[in-house]
Amino acid sequence: MKKIIITSLLFVSVFLNAQNFQGMAVYESKTSTAEMMKNFGGNREITPDMQKRIEENMKKMFEKTFVLNFEKTASIYKEEEKLEAPGQQGGGRMMASIMGGGGTQYKNVKEKMYVVDKEFFGKEFLIKDTLTNYKWQMSSESKKIGEYTCFKATAVVKTDASDMRNFRMRGNKDKEEKAKKTKDSIDASKKTNFLKEDFEQIKEKTITAWYCPEIPINQGPDKYWGLPGLILEVNDGTTVLLCSKIVMNTKDKAEIKAATKGKEVTQTEYDDIVMKKMEEMREMYGGQRGGRGGFH
């Protein structure tokens, strides 16, 4: 058994040392719709059948396939292209942006930076920032993912404010306190921030990753990286990304370079833009007159 493992590692090492080495990994994404419904408090007027239909629609929205093309120090991660239903292209892209998806993500572990291009309300953004330095707690626990032996690692990470999956409704006590403050307020017409007053951001999450030392690439799906092997599975408590296919030394080389189009912003700046636009939408749908939302 040891000889087989050593041979396999040497085999992969030859590819890694090759000048034009490149690999591809396919990931399937699944989001717990029940967990999301619980975070947003649900609606007592929704019947069980209605809730089931809502969860089924959310499931279709979040069950996606992604492709990670990687080389020694850089990677490109993006959703697998597929035809969308007529009339849903624009709405689908906007929802993907609000729910933390969309765009093409470039990671360079040598330069410790990433670049993501996203479209939000008809405007293109280019998010450029430093890679998160995950403080991985590595474990000896292992399991098989396909034919690969993977090891467990966990980390506590800060969440993105532009990803609505990272929000939940405040507890009843908080709601009562908010209602009292509103009643006692002299300025009864004072606006409250929908996300800050009615919802709270889940500031941190514990993520569990499973990495494969047999493929000694410091890469992974989405924004994850930093382990001594390709990350084949990530679970953040709401969404699971699971590798379903790996191709080493692919014949058709993908172009692995950062996008260049869009207004350049940091992750924090982009998060602020999304939050402000969500507040504008809250005010507009809250009874204020206004036209179609957009950037000016």
* Side chain identity at residue 33, one-letter code: T
Q: What average pLDDT does range 241-246 have in this prediction? A: 96
Greater pLDDT, 288 or 118: 118
Q: Which regions of the chain does DSSP assign to beta strands (E)?
A: 23-31, 64-70, 74-79, 104-108, 113-120, 123-130, 137-145, 148-158, 167-169, 199-201, 204-212, 230-235, 239-248, 263-265
Q: Is residue 291 part of a domain?
A: no
Q: Is residue 121 part of a domain?
A: yes
pLDDT reported for residue 276:
87
Q: What is the reported pTM?
A: 0.72
Contact 267, 127 (CB under 8 A): yes
Q: What average pLDDT does range 201-208 have in this prediction? A: 82
User: For 92-144, what is each residue's pLDDT tens digit?
Assistant: 555 555 544 568 999 999 999 999 999 888 889 999 999 999 999 999 999 99
Give CA–CA dist 20/71, Å, rounded: 8
Q: Is residue 296 part of a domain?
A: no
The boundaries of the domain holding residue 198 are 2-285
Helix (H, G, I), strand (E, B) or coil at 120: strand
User: For 10-40, what is each residue's pLDDT tens digit?
Assistant: 445 555 555 567 899 999 998 875 555 555 5
Q: Is residue 129 part of a domain?
A: yes
Q: Is residue 74 part of a domain?
A: yes
| Band of pLDDT at residue 90, cut at 50, 70 and 90 | very low
> What is the domain count for the chain?
1
Q: Is residue 16 part of a domain?
A: yes
